[in-house]
Amino acid sequence: MNVMEIYRSVQGEGTLIGAPTTFVRFFACNLRCSWCDTKYSWSVREGGTWESISAQEIAERVHVLGAQHVVLTGGEPTLQKDLAQLARLLKDQGNHLTVETNTTIFPAEVVPLINLWSLSPKLSSAGENYLRYPIIERFLATLRPDQQQWKFVIRDDEDEQLLRSLLCMYPIFAENKLPIILQPEGDTAITDYPAALERLVERVRDPFWNNYYVRVLPQLHVIIWGRRRWV
């Protein structure tokens, strides 16, 4: 498996924000989001380097770090062919597993092994035609409500309107009160993060959002450390 870094910190995003967590970051991604904050995870020119490590060795390194929450991220972790093997090893160690994915690949063998799928389909500001509706549908049809969170980066009105259209296409978001997390786009938010959060809070005052289990959450690690790695 192509591993960039394994380190312990706290979860900076989503419903488990603040929880002590070990991160396993893989190299390679199938998208090129314009505002990606980890371009080094898919570009050698951006400083990307990696080791080829077996699933067994990754599990051993994770165990030494001690955190019970483990996040498999990237890049795009579902590109790693031994992901199911790694997930089984980590579950055998008693870990709670989160996979952070851009929701463009449905790894059927891996899906039931993961405690929490952090699903982050990319809206207009990330790039054109990055939404994979058939893959979104498969996740919605397969995952339990407690096994999923949907995380969307909102930079502008176009992003929000596309998100609204997506939610209206799939009534299950409202019917099952699936967790929907809105967070500001980091490059534009970092200069005044409270103001960026306030703009999102103003968006969710609209009655449209009354039918959804929506939360505005920050990237905690960006607030604390900015763009530093290994934190």
Calculate the CA 213 to chain-centre distance.
18
Q: Is the pTM of this model over 0.75?
A: yes
pLDDT at 186: 79
CA 191 to each of CA 39, 81, 156: distance values in angstroms, whole numbers, following the listed order: 20, 38, 16
Residue reference for tokens 């509706």:
133
* 135/21 Cα distance (integer angstroms): 27
pLDDT band at residue 184, thresholds of 50, 70 and 90? very high
3-state secondary structure (DSSP) of residue 147: helix
Interval 4-26: pLDDT, tens: 999 999 999 999 999 999 999 99
Q: Which domains does the chain have, with CATH numbers?
A: 2-225 (3.20.20.70)
pLDDT of 91: 98
* One-letter identity of residue 223: I
In the predicted structure, residue 221 carries a pLDDT above the cut 80: yes
Tell me how far apart the alpha carbons of residues 223 and 124 are, in angstroms, rounded to a whole number.
Answer: 24
Per-residue pLDDT at 188 exceeds 90: no
Q: CB count, 10 Å around CB of 226?
A: 10
Residue 197 CA, distance from chain mean position: 18
35 close to 186: Cβ distance less than 8 angstroms:
yes
Residue 88 has pLDDT above 80, yes or no: yes
- The pLDDT score that the predictor gives to residue 62 is 98
